Every structure is written in C-alpha cells, then in structure tokens.
Amino acid sequence: MIAIQNISKSYGDVKALNSISFRVEKGQLFGLIGPDGSGKTSLFRILTSLLKPTSGKATVAGFNTVTDYKDIRKIVGYMPERFSLYMDLTVEENLKFFATVFNTTIRENYHLIEEIYQMLEPFKNRRAGDLSGGMKQKLALSCALIHKPEILLLDEPTTGVDPVSRKDFWDILKKLQKSGITTLVSTPFMDDAELCDEVALVQKGEILKMDTPQNLANGFPHKLWKIVSENNYRTLKVLDEFETKISAFSFGNSVHLATGDDVDEQAIVNHLKQHNVKLISIAIIKAHIEDVFMDLMSHEKGSS
Amino acid sequence: MTEEKVIVANNLTRTFGKFTAVDHISFDVRRGEIFGFLGANGAGKTTATKMLTGILSSSGGYATVAGFDIKKHRNRLKKNIGYMSQKFSLYEDLTLKENIRFYGGIYGLSKKETAAKTGEIVERLDLKQIENTLISEIPLGWKQKIAFSVAIIHSPKIVFLDEPTSGVDPITRRQFWNLIYEAAENGITVFVTTHYMDEAEYCDRISMMTEGKIAALGSLHELLTKYNSKSMDEVFIKLAR
C-alpha cells in the first residue's frame, strides 16, 4: 500500500531523512518509533504530497507522491502532529467542515467514526480549543476518517495524551484495522510499538532496525537482568563499576542490566552487596522495545 | 524540628463559570522531594500548576509556594521558583550563552554570578563546543537538559517541570532524570508532570488528579499496595477509568 524507496530529504545542510526504504502492506498497522527529530514528520509530509523528497521515490496505493498528488489526497486520511483542527470552531463544525471539503457528509460515513464520536457527542457544541488533549486527538482522528480513506497517516497522535486516552486511541486503531484500513502511525512511546504488526525504529533520519515487535524483542543480543533495589539511583552508580556490564538503565522502580552470556547471578549479587546496595529481587527478563532501542542507539553514537 | 514544606495547598480551588477545574485540593510538598503530579488530560493539572506558579489566580482556598502566599505575593513567588515546559523553554534564535545571560538577567543575577553559572552549566553538561551555537540548531535532548539547568540558574527552592521529556529519546530521558536527582540531592524541590509512567515511578511521592480532585497521593510503594497493582501504569488506569 505504501512503498518508500531510498527517500532522502535535506533542509540546507541538515539531513532530515537519509535514504529510507520500507513497505507497508495492505491492512497493516505499521509503526514508526523514534524520538523528536528523527525525521518522522518529514516522511509523513512527503507521503501526503505536502513536501517533495530531495531524492528517492514513494508511492501510496500505487500513486506517486510527487506526480499524482491529487489522487493521493483523496484516499489518504492525515492527522498531523500539530494543527489539524480549527480551534474556534465547535466539535461538530470541525467535522462538518472536513466532510464538506471532501465532498461527503457526516451521515454517509458515520459508521466509521461512530464509536469515537459517541465519546465526543456530549461536547459537540464546545469549541475544539477548549477540549482536553485526549478529546482533541479523538476529534482529529474523526476528521481524518470522515471521507473514508483507504490509508491513515497519523503523525504522533498520542503525544501529550494521558495513558488511559492513549490506550483508548490504540483500541480504536486496532478496530479500524479490522475494517480494512491500512495505517502508518508514528510515536515516541516505545511501548506503543508492541501494538503494531511491524515497526521501524528510527533515529536521526535513519532506520535503526525494522521487524515485528516480537522479533525485535527476541533479537536483543545480551543477557538482560531486572534488578529491584531500595534505591535505583545508587544501584546505577554502583553498576557503573561493574566491569562486565554492557549497559544499565533505569526502568521505573527497577534497573535493567545487560551483560554477556557468561555473567551469572552470583557475580551481580556479590558486586551489589560489596557496595551496600539493598537488593530486593533480581531476575532474567525478556527485553522491551525500549531496551532494544537504547542498545541500538548506543552503537550509533557511543552515548553523548 | 519540623520538616520544611515548600508547597502547602489547602482547599485550593479554581472555577471557570460553572465549571470547577480544581476542586478543593490539599497537599504538602517537602523540601528536596521529587513530587510527581499526574492526572488524565482535562483533570485540572495545568490549572493547578498555573495557580501554584502565580500565573492564574485562585477562586478559593489558599496555598504557599517557597514561603510565598500565591495570592498576596505573586511577583515575589515568580522570582523564587523555576519553571520549564516542553513547549517553551529557551529562545531559539539566541545562542546557548545568550540564553543563559538572558535568564540570569531576568532572575536578577549579577554579571559575575551569571558568568560563573554559565561556566558551571557548560562544564557540567559538556557543551563547550556549542556554547555559541543558536539553540535552534541544537538537538532536542540537549536543549531540554540546558533548559533545566537554566530553570534552576537562580537556585530556586522549587522547580516546576511540565512534561519535560515529551518526545525525547530514551537515553536522554534517563540522563535528564539524573539531573533531576542531582538537583533534589542539592535541596531543590522538584514538581513534575509526565505521561511516562516509568518516570512517575522515579518520584518520591506521586499525586494523581481526576476530575479536579486529588484521587490518590503517596509513595510508589503505598500506591501499588493500596491499588493492588504491579506498576504505576496500572494504578493510573484504575484511577482514571
């Protein structure tokens, strides 16, 4: 449905995208996972025909993003990261506006947005600017869906959104997927990756790795330990001096320690004990996408 | 000796017409504490934070922040706190050094103090090679670390951080939290909002707002026990649904 071949985009000396290639198959929910500044927004703007690539080629449903832009705009539902709603129009007026622009009516495609719109209905006369972050995103998604697009392009739809609204939003995406819509979604939240069929981990305009979330997690190349202690900050400092450490990062109230295969539990426990760390528990765990991402990052830049 | 309280809020309330955005909230924050201020979108977090930082007046109740009454001493309050958000922190078209000088001036530091602080920040964050670079050309992760250092340039008793790590890569996010720990160890109280639940777990105490009220408040351990949960993510969902 989407084919991206060696797409590069430069702004002056700054390379926003550096020869990116991937494909999104029909019906897939594909995630671009990476921090701000990794080039996600530039890619979305290229795919929606709003920006021309410096080199490379992209097609959306077979249409070329440069030459066939009129066709693309009809079949794509785009939710940009910023400015997708008219803040001084009401909820209902926004939706009506987008329906009219695409030459359709709310009633015609109401089934697509019904579930989301029911959550918005109590506020339908409220101005979009006065909605909470989670509600704004639901309205923006409704507006992107109202012309029954074949492909949804969602640029960081869950940034600034609380964990509950974020879960609701992903539930909606999963349901839309069942109705046959192809979705490309970007997010800086690593745990969102697990909800996608396939993800590309992106950083500084390049793809670090691309696979199913399961394969990415299984491909973590080190032994990974979850260490719960009385004081994370101290544990991290103490682990700095653990010679066979590959990396150590805090994860909520625990620390994830990566080591080589030959390191055993006793060696870690002894080291912590020697430095007076009060250990609560230690166990070998499966890597999260975030572990994978940080591991790939540290190869990239040697830690800044 | 009683513990020093940097924030005392008592029945703090704010209404907009008929709507009560913040509904009689009461809590204390202790000196040197990392206090996580969580809540769903629209729960009243922003309104409460605006009152505590002297940007918005309250409709009822009272609060003191860094020893200043938020109603009577708004201007002095503002000089004695630090503030940083994801959206607005540094001037993009000024260089790193110019930004530091600007904020030093705003907070009434002498030339000498500003110069000393500039040297300290540049050295601690290892920024020598970019000290004369425009902020707009510096990567987001660095910017946020600089913004935090600038927000505490006048050694305030408390710093308010509004989603400081939104969109930041996972390694830099953790480096940022190391700066928070350091500041707290030096006695600066940290009041932080975030949508990353792993970050909520780094806080000494966590407050959770729903519909204008504080629905829960305690240490991570207390909240996990009380709500029979394995993570803050679970607690959040149980409370916000």
One domain for residues A45 and A157: yes
B135 has a pLDDT exceeding 90: yes
Tens of pLDDT, residue by residue over A185-211, are 999 999 899 999 999 999 999 999 999
Specify the pLDDT at position B88: 67
Average pLDDT over residues A165-171: 91
> Is residue A301 in some structural domain?
no
Closest-approach residue (CA) in chain B for A40: B167
- The answer on A148 and A42 residing in a single domain is yes
Closest residue in chain A to residue B202, using alpha carbons only = A252
What local confidence, expressed as pLDDT, does residue A301 receive? 56
Q: Are residues A123 and A257 in the same domain?
A: no
One domain, residues A160 and A235: no
B160-209 pLDDT tens trace: 999 999 888 999 999 999 999 999 999 999 999 999 999 999 999 999 99
* Mean pLDDT (chain B, rounded): 93
- Output the pLDDT for position A67: 96
Kindly report, residue by residue over B91-111, the tens digit of the pLDDT: 999 999 999 999 999 999 999
Of the three residues A184, A199, A217, the one that is the final residue of a domain is: A217
Q: By C-alpha distance, which of A200, A149, A141, A151 is closest to A171?
A: A141
pLDDT at A300 over 80: no
- Contact criterion met (CB < 8 Å) for A251 and B166: no
Residue A304 has pLDDT above 60, yes or no: no
Range of the domain at A273: 221-285
Number of Cβ within 10 Å of residue B173's Cβ equals 25
Q: Cβ distance B83 to B163 under 8 Å?
A: no
pLDDT given for residue A112 in this prediction = 87
Q: Say if A293 falls within a structural domain.
A: no
A122 touches chain B (CB under 8 A): no
| A87 domain-assigned | yes
Radius of gyration of chain B (CA): 18
| Chain B residues in contact with A289 (beta carbon < 8 A) | none
Looking at the fold, whether A178 and A272 belong to one and the same domain comes out as no
Reported confidence tier of residue A81, pLDDT bands at 50, 70, 90? confident
Cβ within 8 Å, pair A250-B140 = no
Tell me: pLDDT of B68 over 50.
yes
Regarding whether A91 and A68 lie in a shared domain, the answer is: yes
Same domain, A276 and A193: no
pLDDT value at residue B30: 96
A154 with A249, same domain: the answer is no
ipTM: 0.87
Q: What is the identity of the amino acid at B187?
A: G
For residue B211, what are its two tokens?
């519909």
Residue among B124, B121, B127 at smallest CA distance from B139: B127
Domain-embedded: residue A300:
no
Q: How far is B202 from chain A, CA to nearest CA, in Å?
A: 6
Neighboring chain A residues of B40 at a CB cutoff of 8 Å: 132, 134, 162, 164-165
Is the domain of A33 the same as that of A98? yes
Residues A179, A56, single domain; the answer is yes
pLDDT at A25 over 50: yes
Report yes or no on A67 lying in a domain: yes
Q: Is the per-residue pLDDT at B41 higher than 90? A: no
* Range A236-241 average pLDDT: 93
Query: Are both A133 and A172 inside the same structural domain?
Result: yes
Domain assignment of residue A304, yes or no? no
Q: Is the Cβ of B39 closer than 8 Å to some Cβ of chain A?
A: yes
Residue A64 lies in a domain: yes
Chain B residues with CB-CB distance to A290 below 8 A: 170
Going A260 to A272 to B185 to A160, the CA torsion angle's sign is positive
Inspect the interface and report whether the beta carbons of A164 and B170 lie closer than 8 Å.
no
- A254's enclosing H/E stretch is strand A254-259
Residue A165 contacts B where some CB pair is shorter than 8 Å: yes
Contacts A36 to B, Cβ<8 Å: 140, 167-168
pLDDT tens sequence across A253-283:
999 999 999 999 999 999 999 999 999 999 9
Judged against a pLDDT cut of 90, whether residue B230 lies above it is answered with yes
Measured between beta carbons, which residues in chain B are less than 8 angstroms from residue A253?
201-202, 220
Among A217, A237, A259, identify where a domain stops: A217
For residue A210, the one-letter residue type is M
Total domains, chain A? 2
A106 and A84 inside one domain: yes
Distance CA(B173)–CA(B144), nearest Å, equals: 9
Q: Do B174 and A249 touch (CB under 8 A)?
A: yes
> How far, rounded to the nearest angstrom, does the alpha carbon of residue A288 sit from its chain's CA centroid?
15
Strand, coil or helix: A219: coil
CATH for A280: 3.30.70.100
A297 part of a folded domain: no
